[in-house]
Amino acid sequence: MRVGFVGLGQMGAPMAQHLVERGLVVYDTRPEAVAPLVAAGARSAAGIAELAAACDLVSVMVRDDAQVAEVAAEALPAMRPGGVLAIHSTIRARTAAELAARSGAVHVVDAPVSGGFMGAADGALAVMVGGTAEAFAACREPFGAWADLVLHVGPVGSGTRAKLARNLLHFTAFTAAAEAQRLAEASGVPLRDLARVVRHTDAITGGAGSIMLRPTTAPLADDDPLRPILDHVRALGEKDLAFALELADELGVDTPLARLALARLAAGLGLTPEDHDG
């Protein structure tokens, strides 16, 4: 499968680097972004249409929906029937489905990635693919060059919806981290020490992902085997959040997200407030 890559920025360049030995064709509006990949063995295309005509899989990692639409407008008419246009950019949930509806015999998949430029450099990204089973089968192996978790999460558009859910957790956690830092700072705790503890323990426990155990967000049945585990999590969480909020009140630190977390923790775990550990 001949692979082309459009968009060689902070994420696209290291992703593309893992594909050079496959006879990679690359394009970017910035010559300085193309040069290192050409030096490594890739071929530079003069434009998007030229790249698309030469490739079976065209990966796109550009900035936003508008740029994705521009690339697709040039690439889709030039691609061969059965080819795959893969959008790795984080876009609106509806954009990929809209492109697929007018792509003709070319498959469109939305395949956003998670793992940052570090994961891209190491070939250790996670990629969430939305598209047909046929399209997924075609791009699974090339995606594996730069990702060590390649998931087919549903029809076109599903990859983006998965990425947006993942990033909701990511950036909400940043807000929680800011609250934690304000509390630590007011308590006289060095923020860099707190950061070291968080990074160390999250690497062991998996952080927020460690409680993502259920196949549904519906309330747990009384005989669900996860109930004792999550009820224990609820008991610890409610205790520790209550103590943290007590400290925040004493120090005059505003922690609205923590208060919301305490109020909603039980329901989020599939439990009711009156459930008790044991």
Catalytic residue set: 163
**The two structure tokens encoding residue 134:** 């046929």
Backbone φ and ψ for 85, nearest 5 degrees, come out as: -100, 115
Q: How far apart are CA 85 and CA 79, in angstroms?
A: 9
Gap between the Cα atoms of 19 and 2, Å rounded:
10
Q: Tell me how far apart the alpha carbons of residues 225 and 229 are, in angstroms, rounded to a whole number.
A: 8
Collect contacts of 29-34 with beta carbons under 8 A, ≥24 apart: 33/8, 33/9, 34/8
**Other beta carbons within 10 Å of 11:** 21
Which helix H or strand E contains 71, and what residues bound it?
helix 65-78
